[in-house]
Structure 1
Amino acid sequence: MSTTPSAGRGRTGGLLLRDARLLGVAEPRDVLLSGGRIARVAPSGLAAPGLPELRLDGRHLAPGLWDGHVHFTQWVVRRERIDLSPADSAAAAVAIMRAALPVSDADVVVGYGFRDALWSDAPTRAALDAIAPDRPVMLISGDLHCGWLNSAAGRRYGLDLPDDGVLRETEWIGALGVHDRGTQPSLDAYAAAARAAASRGVVGVVEFENQDNATIWPDRVAAGVDSLRVEGSVWPDRLDEAIARGLRTGDVLDDAGLVTFGRLKIVVDGSLNTRTAYCWAPYPGLDPADPHSYGVQSVTPERLVELLATAHAHGIAPAVHAIGDQANTQVIDAFESLGIAGVVEHAQLVSDDDFARFGRLGLTASVQPEHAMDDRDVADRHWHGRTDRAFAFRSLHNAGATVHLGSDAPVAPLDPWLAISAAVSRSRDGRDPWHPEQNLPVDLALAASARGRFTITEGEVADLVVLDADPLAATPDALRKMPVAATLLGGRFTWNDLEDPR
């Protein structure tokens, strides 16, 4: 299979973008696109007889943006689920679901987005049974790491529910998978979500949905879901199949050149909001003698090394979910023992001694800055005294790690400008910056959202975004609302709020 970068379904006839301002460059430039690539970058006045032209009139032209971590199906179906984000207590979540039951015609009534780490009351199965004794009800946490179900939902899925009705980590993820397989969105819904991402300047996503991405995504592209590049991961339960098919990281999987085979995704611990991130110190109020008080170790260090070694031997690169500081230490230990590099997904809490190892081993930290804004109060409570090394983007960068930004959609919206703003400001909603020493300068945040690209270069694939404002001069609030005039994927418009080329 080919591993050569492809322009995809580009404008092979060519297009001249006139009077574009490149980031950090004062004078406007003309940019010639041909064969889906950037053929020429020159001072204004470039001659290109016979080619269509589009005047950008001084708008800013930048590399297209990537979201380094998404669960695309979960992002698509989120719009169909009852919004639980306003719930500030278990009672409030139950009230939201009670109000939704009479107007929902769903077989299983699903809510999404509760965050219970700061609630003064606790979920109970009895509270959900009281509002729906015979109708299945499922509440999904905002971090996707736990679910709260009533007895009818437990019966539907053959689950032995605890008294609180809450399932966490492996048991929960399995139950959610069973539910999702029976409720797949339409192709139109996928296409609409992809177009919405393109309208925010997104040209590609790293897909971490646990499914057969190497088959499903080429089929979606062939059916018209072609607004994005997709790097599709494989999970351990499909690793043997991927190896048997001869798939290797970077292989192009579709005729359009939009889908590539990605990395082996391994989840070694849980999350902060669910209090299952695997840490060196116990969570407050829990018995230090109880191993579960430190979080959940989903994969043992020995199994992690085995998986990494097997994948590496067959050309499949790793991406390992690690949130707690003990989980990050164990993942870095595994990379170091094998002498291989890879991506650490999230890296939310890192021990002081481990920052330098990120750089020394050539690791990439794939982080989600909007999570820091969502979780700052949760971290202050449950990681008290350790938040100087939580969501520590500047420390990771200074240590030499490659930093990529993403959303973990639907945990945060699939909009890179939210991540960029959060990384730069460490603030949202007018609050004081949280650990501002861990911010990223805007140029680094932009590059971390564009796979290391800050400006455009001749010969590169023409994955571009046209902006109506200068992100280098924007306030944090303006970054969040950055107006995107157009997005091009391999020289083809996937979003265009400008005039048609003449």
Structure 2
Amino acid sequence: MTTLMIRAARLVPIGPTASAPREPVDVLVEDGRVTAVVGRLDPRPGVEEIAADGRWLAPGLWDQHVHLGQWTLASQRLDLAPARSPEDVLALLRERLLTLPGVPVIGWGHRPGTWTRDVTVSELDAVTTDVPVVLIAGDGHHAWLNTPALLHLALPVRDSVVRETEWFAVYPRLAGLVGNDGTSPEAFRRTLEAAAARGVVGLVDFEFGGSRADWAERWGEGCDLLRVRWATYADTLEETLEAGLRTGDTLPGCDERATMGPLKIISDGSLNTRTAWCCEPYADAHRLEYPAGQANLSGEELRGLLARAHAGGLEVATHAIGDAAVAEALAAYAATGAAGSIEHAQLVGREDVRRMARLGVRASVQPAHLLDDRDLTEAVWPGRAERSFAFRWMLDDGVELALGSDAPVSALDPWLAIAAAVHRSADDRDPWHDEQALTPAEALAASVDGQPTVGVGSPGDLVLLDADPLAGHEDSAATGHALRHTEVALTVVAGRVVHSAL
């Protein structure tokens, strides 16, 4: 462990009743912990000193929901985010095929939820001939494949997209389609460095098809930069339990910065695919096989998984986007006594928020999703927008909030998430249901993994900022703009500098 001294830093107060010294202080980090916070520390021979020069020091930021392998791959994929129609996607694809003829294509980012028609495999085949093409929707819940890709991935040939559970199962096999898939330790290291440059000190990795052995290998190859909590899925649950791993345990082959996280369960689908399970039908239910979406597991199956994980010492992270899925998940937590979180909680009932608080279940939410889903929510969940991304209800009722990105669905950027929670708009329109907005102080507190204002005993996981993140501005638009453009001067993990712009 290193010893580090940060001189003349202003502390950012974290928490509803927090306070901080008005004058800059010196902060000493020894053996991974803050051991002194005083007005002036005497020099210590051999100790690295960093001059903060009055910058603002806060606990390091966490992203509580990342698919790290997918996010790492995203930089090499065909960017389909600009597409507004199937025709736009096909045009971007034609351009890529002309640029790199004969090379398999993995695309990411189109949002078909607002399109006026369904797409077909045959129209993709007409453009791509024998080149395998996999185009992954921006919510990550389905993919548009051509026939060569379906055959290569051993999927049944069909004329429709591959959705939900079937897609999640096949995703890890994409590496065999594209050869060098960009998930080498060097690629992961670049991703982690980019996260550190945004002040991230830790993340929860929900990658599909990943394994703890993957992290042990990466850890020894230079990916020991940030704190990582690795989540298991149902298919590796028994293996994880047989290894005796409980939530919080150090992953074999790593050090204490890489630990066992929760069991991840995907209990329903997504808004864009109309598979999020809701109490009421979608507005375009006439187009859907399941008018109100659907559950991926029965209530009995869900309770069985929660009970098994809880008995083995694992927390549970339950993906639930629709209000029916949230209600069913909370019933499972209540029945089993399991601890953990609802991931997303995008549409909620008022009483279910109160129940979440009573059960002590966290709401692990991704505010940047509301920027993408605003218009679609109004279209397909009419009359329900006031119950979407209901952060104010959650906070006021005593639910613990934990912010994340769901990268690559949104960028691995905590300042984007914080700004979205505060301003709730991505354009010149007024904030969307600003009665559910958070203050900057509340959003920041939900982004630091429960840590209070930096003090003696704090983890040596710190971020030094060029500007005060809690500074007042004339309105939420100006506040959101300032938050999105926050500059990170220094990021420290366990007392080790992992990013410096000084």
**TM more than 0.5:** yes
1:295 Cα shift?
A: 1.0
- Alignment partners' CA distance in 2, 1:106 and 1:15: 52
After superposing the two structures, state which structure 1 stretch, 66-75 or 105-114, moved more. 105-114
Q: What residue in structure 2 maps to residue 484 of structure 1?
A: 488
- Alignment partners' CA distance in 2, 1:393 and 1:321: 17
- Alignment partners' CA distance in 1, 2:275 and 2:102: 31
Deviations 1:332-384 (A, max 9, x none): 01111123332110000011221110111001000000001111001111111
For residue 208 of structure 2, the aligned residue among 210, 223, 226 is 210
1:175 Cα shift?
A: 2.4
1:119 Cα shift?
A: 1.4
For residue 497 of structure 1, the aligned residue among 493, 496, 501 is 501
Say yes or no: does 1:39 pair with 2:35. yes
Q: What residue in structure 2 maps to residue 378 of structure 1?
A: 376
- Alignment partners' CA distance in 2, 1:59 and 1:274: 45
Q: What residue in structure 1 maps to residue 151 of structure 2?
A: 155
% same residue: 46
- Alignment partners' CA distance in 1, 2:409 and 2:284: 26
Unaligned 5+ segments in structure 1 are 1-9
Q: What residue in structure 1 maps to residue 345 of structure 2?
A: 347
Say yes or no: does 1:126 pair with 2:130. no
What TM-score does the superposition give when structure 1 sets the normalisation length?
A: 0.93
How do residues 195-234 of structure 1 correspond to structure 2 at under 5 angstroms?
Answer: 195-234=193-232
For residue 100 of structure 2, the aligned residue among 104, 111, 119 is 104
Deviations 1:429-458 (A, max 9, x none): 332100001111111111110012241121
Structure 1's 255 and 283: CA in aligned 2 closer, same or farther, altered over 3 A? Answer: closer
For residue 460 of structure 1, the aligned residue among 450, 458, 461 is 458
Q: Counterpart amino acid of 2:304?
A: E
1:497 Cα shift?
A: 1.1
Deviations 1:385-425 (A, max 9, x none): 01111111111111111100000000000010000000111
Q: What residue in structure 2 maps to residue 187 of structure 1?
A: 185
How do residues 56-75 of structure 1 correspond to structure 2 at under 5 angstroms?
Answer: 56-75=52-71
1:139 Cα shift?
A: 0.6
- Alignment partners' CA distance in 1, 2:434 and 2:166: 37
Q: What residue in structure 2 maps to residue 316 of structure 1?
A: 314
SS at match of 2:402: strand
Unaligned 5+ segments in structure 2 are 14-19, 473-478
- Alignment partners' CA distance in 2, 1:251 and 1:106: 46
CA RMSD of aligned residues (A): 1.6
8 Å Cα contact 2:284-2:380 kept in structure 1 = no
Say yes or no: does 1:17 pair with 2:21. no
1:166 Cα shift?
A: 0.7
SS at match of 1:294: coil
1:235 Cα shift?
A: 0.3
8 Å Cα contact 1:17-1:55 kept in structure 2 = yes
Q: What residue in structure 2 maps to residue 80 of structure 1?
A: 76
Structure 1's 381 and 19: CA in aligned 2 closer, same or farther, altered over 3 A? Answer: same
After superposing the two structures, state which structure 1 stretch, 112-121 or 409-418, moved more. 112-121
- Alignment partners' CA distance in 1, 2:239 and 2:433: 44
- Alignment partners' CA distance in 2, 1:477 and 1:171: 40
Q: What residue in structure 2 maps to residue 280 of structure 1?
A: 279
- Alignment partners' CA distance in 1, 2:294 and 2:256: 39
8 Å Cα contact 2:347-2:389 kept in structure 1 = yes
SS at match of 1:461: coil
8 Å Cα contact 2:316-2:338 kept in structure 1 = no
1:86 Cα shift?
A: 0.5
What TM-score does the superposition give when structure 2 sets the normalisation length?
A: 0.93
1:57 Cα shift?
A: 0.6
After superposing the two structures, state which structure 1 stretch, 202-211 or 454-463, moved more. 454-463
8 Å Cα contact 1:91-1:121 kept in structure 2 = no
8 Å Cα contact 2:310-2:337 kept in structure 1 = no
Number of corresponding residues = 484
SS at match of 1:251: coil
Q: What residue in structure 2 maps to residue 4 of structure 1?
A: none
8 Å Cα contact 2:402-2:447 kept in structure 1 = yes
1:218 Cα shift?
A: 2.2
Q: What residue in structure 2 maps to residue 172 of structure 1?
A: 167
8 Å Cα contact 1:217-1:230 kept in structure 2 = no
Q: What residue in structure 1 maps to residue 387 of structure 2?
A: 389
SS at match of 2:190: helix
- Alignment partners' CA distance in 2, 1:358 and 1:161: 42
Q: What residue in structure 2 maps to residue 5 of structure 1?
A: none
- Alignment partners' CA distance in 1, 2:170 and 2:208: 13
- Alignment partners' CA distance in 1, 2:217 and 2:150: 33
- Alignment partners' CA distance in 2, 1:317 and 1:300: 20
Q: What residue in structure 1 maps to residue 112 of structure 2?
A: 116
SS at match of 1:274: coil
For residue 23 of structure 2, the aligned residue among 21, 24, 27 is 27
Q: What residue in structure 2 maps to residue 296 of structure 1?
A: 294
8 Å Cα contact 1:446-1:454 kept in structure 2 = no
8 Å Cα contact 2:310-2:339 kept in structure 1 = no
Q: Counterpart amino acid of 2:481?
A: D
1:177 Cα shift?
A: 2.4
